[in-house]
Amino acid sequence: MKSSHQIEFTAGLFLLVAIAALIFLAVQATDRGVVTGGSYQVTAYFSNIGGLKPRARVSMGGVTVGLVESISLDPDTFEARVVMSISERFSDLPEDTSASILTAGILGDQFVGLEPGGSPEPLREGDRIMLTNSAMQLEQLISRYMFNTEGED
């Protein structure tokens, strides 16, 4: 049987090890999202977002610059409203940047691809991306090809 002094010392040591584990896991094994540090939000409206989900990545030229914060349906226009967080590091994207919903691989995850425009004005917090391309839907493509008809929408 250990003395009570030793027991308390070991218990304290045990808690210290646990705290060290907490710090190690928090720092080494995780990332505070793609958007480390500051970020700003921009909105884009799409007529169809396909299978886009919150927390999908937002990329420009293949580089991840942010992530999808939320998706909702606009009550007036019935368009999908996609709010994106873009990292502060990419704070000088042109104002006329366009957004399209792309698929990684043929059946992979969907993400938002940004295409830079040429405007000297940068996108700011709360801005809206005007030029958007909706998601390509495999079913529509197939039916268009099979029945050789134009989609109604």
Q: Which residues bind another protein (CB under 8 A)?
A: 4, 7-8, 10-15, 17-18, 21-22, 24-26, 28-34
CB of 20 to another protein, least distance (A): 8
Per the structure block, which two tokens stand in for 18? 């646990």
Output 32 or 120, the one with its CB closest to another protein.
32
Give the type of residue at 138.
L
Q: For tokens 């027991």, what's the residue?
A: 7
User: Rounded CA gap, 121 and 147, in Å?
Assistant: 45
Output 34 or 136, the one with its CB closest to another protein.
34
CB of 54 to another protein, least distance (A): 11
Output 12 or 51, the one with its CB closest to another protein.
12
Per the structure block, which two tokens stand in for 145? 């090809």
CB of 10 to another protein, least distance (A): 5
Output 59 or 132, the one with its CB closest to another protein.
59
| 113, 137 contact by CB (below 8 A) | no
Q: What is the DSSP letter of 42?
A: E
Dmax over CA atoms of the chain, in Å, equals 86
Q: Which of 50, 79, 51, 83 is nearest to 67 (CA)?
A: 83
Output 28 or 148, the one with its CB closest to another protein.
28
CB of 106 to another protein, least distance (A): 15
CB of 130 to another protein, least distance (A): 31
| 46, 134 contact by CB (below 8 A) | yes
| 46, 131 contact by CB (below 8 A) | no
